[in-house]
Every structure is written in structure tokens, then in C-alpha cells.
Amino acid sequence: MSFLKLEKIVKRFGDATVIDNVDIDAERGEFVVFVGPSGCGKSTLLRMVAGLEEVTAGDIYLDGVNVTYTEPADRQVSMVFQSYALFPHMSVRDNISFGLRMAKTPREEIDRRVAEAARILQIENLLERKPRQLSGGQRQRVAIGRAIVRNPKLFLFDEPLSNLDAELRSQMRVEIARLHRNLGVTMVYVTHDQVEAMTLADRIVVLRAGKVEQIGSPADLYERPDNMFVAGFIGSPK
Ligand code: ADP
Ligand code: MG
């Protein structure tokens, strides 16, 4: 079985079906990118994988275990949001270690993991600062650091770079690719940015109105799109 498997996932909000019988999987270590228009259900899918949203129907398997009804804290999944969601009154160090402190991780272990994450993300000199004293790119590194220290089996990224300017975005894109290479962890990444999708993805999932339109490698989708919708999404910058 695939490392991550979404099987016949349905999500309804009231009468609205926002995810409509979706099957997606990811192999261990794979970098899978979700693209699709605003409102097509990308964030909802990620939130269900993280356990932040219940499925209406279907099953989610992670590393051979059915986690459909597993608490978020027990899924070993870390999610990075577009908004960073940092605590403004806490230092960078305390932001990064927050989840570990809540889980009563021993102090030395916390210090070791924070130091390691800070080294990977090159924010060692920022640990005692407050979020307001950081640039957008630095804040996003802190948000990624908070995800890393939990040693997740799976990283979820929801448009993590869309608040950054073009130059920082391309720099962070390279850093996320490096992070994926170094950690070797499975990543599912939502973006509107065609360049991000094409350069980061092992496989791209094109979504439209809660359904999978096509799944394939960047080259597959670029060279052999199933239809005009996919061609339009991959072929022209959004
Ligand atoms: P995307 O991330 O692709 O832009 P979302 O997953 O945020 O799309 O939203 C998919 C659809 O579900 C949208 O029509 C949105 O309005 C709807 N939706 C998302 N969350 C809720 C909610 N909590 N209650 C009702 N509708 C929601
Ligand atoms: Mg979204």
C-alpha cells in the first residue's frame, strides 16, 4: 500500500459537496503538489489529512495505518500554513518548541531538536527574537521549524510562500526542495504557483471543483494534458 492513501474521500459542508469521491496516494518520500483554482478544495483536503477536519466519507491511510479517526496530535503529520500562525508574544525559540513543550518532551530533547531545526533553516541567530522582529521569509522559516521539530512522517504545506515577494519566494522554493532532499520525508504541497508546482513536484494532482482532474509527473501533465483545463493550469502562469 502507498505511504499515504486517500480512498474515496467525500467532504460535505451542509448541502455543498466540496470534495467528491477523491482517490490520491503518495509514496514514501514523494513530493506531491496539489494545484487547482481557488475554492476547489485543496485546503480542505490537507486539513482532513492533518485531522483538523473530519471526512464525511472515505478513508485515510498513513504508513499502513487507517488514521481517518485518529486525533491530529497522534497522526505524526505537521502542517505549515500560508499565514505562518506564529504566537506574537513568544520568542522564535518558544514558537518552534511550543508543540514539544505541550507534549512534555524533556528539556534537553527540546533544545537538541530546536538547535537542529534552526541549523537546517539557518535561523540560529534569530532564536531569541519575537516574530514582529522578523521578515516574512524568516517568519516562514520559523513556521517550518515548528513543523520539523515534531519529526513528522508527513509534511503538509498550504500555499506557504504566497505571502512572500517574488525574490523570497524563489529563494524559499529552493530551500524547501533542499529540505525535502535532506529529510527524505513525504511532502504534500498546495500552491497556485506554476513554477513551484513544476520544480518541486514528483507528481502533480490537478483538482477542479472537488474532483481530481489528472495526476502525473510535471512532464506528463505538460506534454500530455488530458484536457484544456489541465493544459491551461500547467501551461500558463496562474
Ligand atoms: P481551496 O483551498 O482550494 O481554495 P477550500 O478547501 O478552502 O479551497 O474550500 C473548498 C470549498 O469548501 C469552498 O467552496 C469553500 O467555500 C468551502 N468551505 C471550506 N471550508 C468551509 C467551512 N468550514 N464551511 C463551509 N464551507 C467551507
Ligand atoms: Mg486554500
DSSP secondary structure string for all residues of 57-102: EEEEEETTEE-TTS-GGGTTEEEEETT----TTS-HHHHHHHHHHH
Atom from ligand 1 closest to the CA of residue 44? 6
Is ligand 1 within 6 A of the CB of residue 38? Answer: yes
How far, CA to CA in Å, does 221 sit from each of 41, 171, 189, 199?
Answer: 20, 25, 17, 13
Q: Is the pLDDT of residue 102 over 60?
A: yes
Confidence of residue 17 (pLDDT cuts 50, 70, 90): very high
What's the CA gap between 24 and 206, in Å, rounded?
A: 11
Atom from ligand 1 closest to the CA of residue 47? 6
Instruction: Write down the pLDDT at residue 75.
Output: 95
Residue 119, H or E segment: helix 107-121
- Beta strands 4-13 and 16-26 are antiparallel
What's the CA gap between 103 and 155, in Å, rounded?
A: 19
User: Whose C-alpha lies nearest to ligand 1, atom 6?
Assistant: 41
Instruction: Write down the pLDDT at residue 47.
Output: 97
User: Mapping DSSP to helix (H, G, I), strand (E, B) and coil, where does residue 134 land?
Assistant: coil
Confidence of residue 210 (pLDDT cuts 50, 70, 90): very high
Q: Is the pLDDT of residue 173 over 60?
A: yes
User: What letter would DSSP give residue 19?
Assistant: E
Instruction: Write down the pLDDT at residue 181.
Output: 94
Centre of ligand 1 to C-alpha 184, Å, is 31
Q: What is the pLDDT of residues 139-155, one digit of tens each?
A: 999 999 999 999 999 99
What's the CA gap between 80 and 238, in Å, rounded?
A: 22
C-alpha cell, 125: 541567530
- From the CA of 158, which ligand is nearest? 2
- From the CA of 20, which ligand is nearest? 1
* Identity of residue 217: S
Buried b vs exposed e over 143-159: b needs ≥16 C-beta within 10 Å?
Answer: bbbbbbbbebbbbbbbb
Is ligand 1 within 6 A of the CB of residue 44? Answer: yes
CB-based neighbours (< 5 A) of ligand 2, an ion: 42-43
pTM, to two decimals: 0.94
What's the CA gap between 205 and 22, in Å, rounded?
A: 11
